[in-house]
Amino acid sequence: MGNKKNVALLFGGRSVEHGVSVNSARNIFEYIDKDKFEPICIGLSTDGKWFLKSSVDKDIETGQEITLSTDPARPGFISAGGYIKPDLVFPVLHGTDGEDGSVQGMLTALQIPFVGSGVLGSAVSMNKVIAKQILQANGLPVVPFESFHASDKKLIDFEKASGKFGVPLMVKSASLGSSVGVSKVRTKEEFLAALEDSFRYDDEVIIEKFIPGREIECAILGNEPPKASRPGEIIISKKYDFYNFDAKYVDSEAVEIKVPAELNAETEEKVRSLSLRAFQALRCQDFARVDLFLSDQGIFINEINTIPGFTNSSMYPMMWKERGLSFTDLISDLLRLAEERWIKQNRFNRNFQSSLKF
């Protein structure tokens, strides 16, 4: 029992996906192998304060407020009860200030190993514009799009966009997840309302061609080399116009999930190959979920999620369960991968001896 590793679960955060994060972390806390790991629950409130909790729940501010220790000899957290040193951190933070490289940068500076992609992979994957540009540069198929900054808002024109992409078309915030700030529009009035909604959450938006087809997802696990699950499919109820937030998390009857998806061998292998290539092109690490569209026009990569959901309806653990990997074993594998990667990263020499005088 004394050899158990302390694992800090970070959840909540200043993000529109705060509630999803709590639900994901609750499952990880429940299923983590407590014979091997001692979970330390750290909730981040919606205003950015950090609290130590005995378990994962939505009432984050009922916990004990903690601060960061920036002492390189004692990296970790300080509470009224003393110093808390995690051996590993599992950021279960979806969206802004959690999945975008900010927390990853802090943990890297404190020299605390953590699960998931580092600063680079997290940041470029979170921004849909940068991610699509990198995927295109690597010869990977993405949906036709254009992007606008808030400063260019006056240049956005419905007639031009609909002439270029047709209708319906999609309007999306550039750096959010869980379909927040995403709209499917057909008219100028809907278009203007969608822009207001997307700019409410971000200073950059994407206008994208709507691709009718099947919603396919593929789970990636590992580093050298990463491996891909069999793809799964999300079949959305006809009462939803697209896979929005309520369909994902609120309405239990909104979708039918098929794992594995019914695909012929050639298509399945292409989905898996494209997903692996996207994971590597965006410099992701440890794990990710790749979302794709399968249509008559071909296969398109929609986006990549560097901290996929672990809720009861989340595809990522389902796709690995189909491969025989239980929720508990999946969590253990992720923690092992993080530790192995940390050991390898520390082999680099950070001390350069030069003749520079200072």
Please identify every residue annotated as catalytic: 17, 178, 249, 289, 291, 303, 305, 309
| Whether the Cβ atoms of residue 136 and residue 52 lie closer than 8 Å to each other | no
Tokens (6 digits) for 182: 């995403």
37 vs 7: CA distance, rounded Å: 6
- DSSP-derived letter for residue 116 is S
- Residues 6 or more apart whose Cβ sits within 8 Å of residue 142: 132, 135, 136, 300, 301, 302
CB atoms within 10 A of CB 264: 8
Find out whether 19 and 59 touch, Cβ atoms under 8 Å: no
Residues 60 and 14: their CA atoms lie apart, in Å, by 12
In Å, how far are 161, 217, 307 from 348, measured between CA atoms?
48, 35, 26
Quick one: residue 314, left, alpha or beta (phi over 0 = left, psi -120 to 50 = alpha)?
beta
CB contact at 8 A, 7 and 339: no
